[in-house]
Structure 1
């Protein structure tokens, strides 16, 4: 138990020092499930030791969330509480960092009226739009990470006891975040350097398009806008403080041209979207827009996602992850996008990160649109990587370069 407690404290310190990288005098806002109270207190302890001026916690409780969806009228889900949105925006203006603990039960909202879920997603996206500009433009440091919870652990490991499921998931989380290394901080530094090597190569090539093919039927051409920027690992906020937005992270990513995606792509892992699963689905694109889709599980939920707004029917992110990533090699389907997206090449429906195009963080919405940058109220990743995935990059002078072969980097 002592060893676990020591590791838990070190994990919290890793998130504070490497992930969010709290600076002296800055506030920190943490979103946490109530089951994570012990770990959240450790985050706060290390944040104050690092010089944080204040640690504010927004708690969420799955039991209360489920009760709300079962009993509250539709108008509640159509109207996101403005006090909460304005509070987050106020903290952002004061230079706060934001840690989000992603640990939701994948089936929390199973059987709930999908119209309520869709209304809640849309109203929250609209209300939080100004606040998300601070994070999606990297004006403030932000970090999405996770800790196991009982319900989530049982979904991932349904054939063992609750105690064993929690233990197994903790072990998987620690391995995914390199906490099993002798020196996790050094391991992260080396890992981030490796990702940066890929970023540099891709940015030097300035590819015109990427062609995805796989035996499952995927055959998709993704055009990239002029001036696109690949990123990966970590980056600098507006104060030039380096932070790592996702822990774990195995990806390098950029944006597609919103009108330049054509063909069909098949999912390779389940997508946990707001407490509902979407699985075994395919998406067909023409001139960047979804023109057809099918799903064996959660097709109605997928439809609601794509109907949030016009931008939700276009892609906002292209991310490359080798099939041999540690998370993929664990052979665990986490049913949590933070982990599953780092086991697989993936795309994202919806809003693109303005930082993925030259000068994007200073462009108006009209300028971004003109440059082929997708805008939307949502941003949802879905996984498409496989052991036989091929990705060929085409340069502006017509040269074809194999980027991925059999699911692995070939550069």
Structure 2
């Protein structure tokens, strides 16, 4: 099976990423993180960005094989210490207010079998070194987007019955469908989608629930929400008031929880691909905002290293609502990639809150954020909890209960 008009669709995709994803402005620096396998898409993105007037497009190539060799063989000293040039590059990106495009296409099992402790050590050191970039990104000071591209190892994981080019084509089809490239005018289609999600976020912002209560046959958890929290859907705005689309696809509206008020238990409903490993059947028990018990049917070791990242990794930083009838959920496909799977399902995130999820949060210090119930952490990992039998109630300050979701869809 080959995709008809593949090169036309890929060109449209590159255009969408540059115009809607990060909305490149004149004289802006653009940084593109992309696999060496995705040269064709990279060239199209670079071309489109320069067409829109970018001053500089910096391409940061990555390679699963090279990364695996590094994690397997680098000295402990190197894993613990980032070279100065990485720190300098991060600071440069922030100073330039660069637009960041991340194209995910890695093998979900890229680092399976490696020593998890080494991976965790490296991720922690890198997280510290790139803290200014992560902070500017999570404050929406910069425009940023995460998108997908089909690669052999990932495609064969998603479609195990297919091999090689057939699997690659099949995954491209799904990527084009979920990002609306199959529609006559993808850019217009995204505008309409943006408005629809905004209206849901506007309703939730008006309600200002004090907490959400999630119930399903495998979940019963109450998650507090901070005062003056802000729900967002689809598009965001950077500090220059330029709209961008942080995730494509996206089907969610999300905010931050009050990380001090989380009680109950929750079980994941989809596999999670995290740091080159697959985790399945995760269960968490929360008391007073902290995870007091955590287990995984697959990937327990990886999960324990994630939760040991820092104090904030023992709580939540995001609650996101995604209707079960969403296109990705209805496709019945598990993508083994959070960008897609989180848009098929209600999800929560272990770790950091986005400061923009609360009024004036982007102007607050870490201490001030924590005082408002916002979670501060070096990590932010989404996991999926939604299903067709998930009910969610909004609980008002005075105890009034308002149905938000019934049987996995907006009530």
TM-score with structure 1 length normalisation?
0.98
Q: Which residue of 1 aligns with 2:38?
A: 36
Contact 2:94 2:132 in 1 (8 A): no
1:325-364 CA-to-partner distances (Å, cap 9, x unmatched) read 1111111100000000010000001110000000000011
5 Å-filtered alignment, 1:357-372, equals: 357-372=358-373
Contact 2:90 2:132 in 1 (8 A): no
Contact 2:147 2:339 in 1 (8 A): yes
Q: Which residue of 2 aligns with 1:224?
A: 225
Using the TM superposition, give the Cα deviation of residue 120 of structure 1 relative to its aligned residue in structure 2, in angstroms: 1.4
SS at 1:44 equivalent: helix
Picking from 57, 66, 69, the partner of 1:67 is: 69
SS at 2:296 equivalent: strand
| Residue 202 (structure 2) pairs with residue 200 (structure 1) | yes
Using the TM superposition, give the Cα deviation of residue 312 of structure 1 relative to its aligned residue in structure 2, in angstroms: 0.6
Picking from 69, 77, 80, the partner of 1:78 is: 80
Moved over 6 A (4+): none
Contact 2:93 2:133 in 1 (8 A): no
Q: Which residue of 2 aligns with 1:135?
A: 137
Contact 2:361 2:369 in 1 (8 A): yes
Q: Which residue of 2 aligns with 1:9?
A: 11
5 Å-filtered alignment, 1:14-33, equals: 14-33=16-35
| Residue 245 (structure 2) pairs with residue 244 (structure 1) | yes
Using the TM superposition, give the Cα deviation of residue 145 of structure 1 relative to its aligned residue in structure 2, in angstroms: 0.6
Using the TM superposition, give the Cα deviation of residue 142 of structure 1 relative to its aligned residue in structure 2, in angstroms: 0.4
Contact 1:315 1:349 in 2 (8 A): yes
1:145-198 CA-to-partner distances (Å, cap 9, x unmatched) read 110111111111122121110011000100110111111111111111110110
Contact 2:313 2:350 in 1 (8 A): yes
Q: Which residue of 2 aligns with 1:275?
A: 276
Contact 1:27 1:52 in 2 (8 A): yes
Q: Which residue of 2 aligns with 1:395?
A: 396
Contact 1:257 1:373 in 2 (8 A): yes
Aligned equivalents of 2:83 and 2:290: distance in 1?
32
Aligned equivalents of 2:371 and 2:342: distance in 1?
29
Change (3 A) 1:292 1:168: same
Aligned equivalents of 2:88 and 2:403: distance in 1?
47
Aligned equivalents of 1:197 and 1:82: distance in 2?
45
Question: Any stretches of 5+ residues in structure 2 without a counterpart?
Answer: none
Aligned equivalents of 2:83 and 2:336: distance in 1?
28
Q: Which residue of 2 aligns with 1:312?
A: 313
Using the TM superposition, give the Cα deviation of residue 130 of structure 1 relative to its aligned residue in structure 2, in angstroms: 1.0
Picking from 183, 195, 215, the partner of 1:213 is: 215
Q: Which residue of 2 aligns with 1:341?
A: 342
Contact 2:144 2:245 in 1 (8 A): yes
Aligned equivalents of 2:77 and 2:409: distance in 1?
48
Aligned pairs, number: 409
Using the TM superposition, give the Cα deviation of residue 85 of structure 1 relative to its aligned residue in structure 2, in angstroms: 3.0
Picking from 79, 102, 105, the partner of 1:103 is: 105
Aligned equivalents of 1:241 and 1:164: distance in 2?
39
SS at 1:262 equivalent: strand
Contact 2:272 2:338 in 1 (8 A): yes
SS at 2:280 equivalent: strand
Aligned equivalents of 2:176 and 2:387: distance in 1?
24
Q: Which residue of 2 aligns with 1:164?
A: 166
SS at 2:60 equivalent: strand
Using the TM superposition, give the Cα deviation of residue 2 of structure 1 relative to its aligned residue in structure 2, in angstroms: 7.1
Using the TM superposition, give the Cα deviation of residue 69 of structure 1 relative to its aligned residue in structure 2, in angstroms: 2.2
SS at 1:193 equivalent: helix
Contact 1:85 1:131 in 2 (8 A): no
Question: Any stretches of 5+ residues in structure 1 without a counterpart?
Answer: none
Q: Which residue of 2 aligns with 1:300?
A: 301
Picking from 154, 179, 183, the partner of 1:177 is: 179
| Residue 181 (structure 2) pairs with residue 186 (structure 1) | no
SS at 1:296 equivalent: coil
Aligned equivalents of 1:375 and 1:183: distance in 2?
40
SS at 1:297 equivalent: coil
Using the TM superposition, give the Cα deviation of residue 310 of structure 1 relative to its aligned residue in structure 2, in angstroms: 0.3
SS at 2:174 equivalent: helix
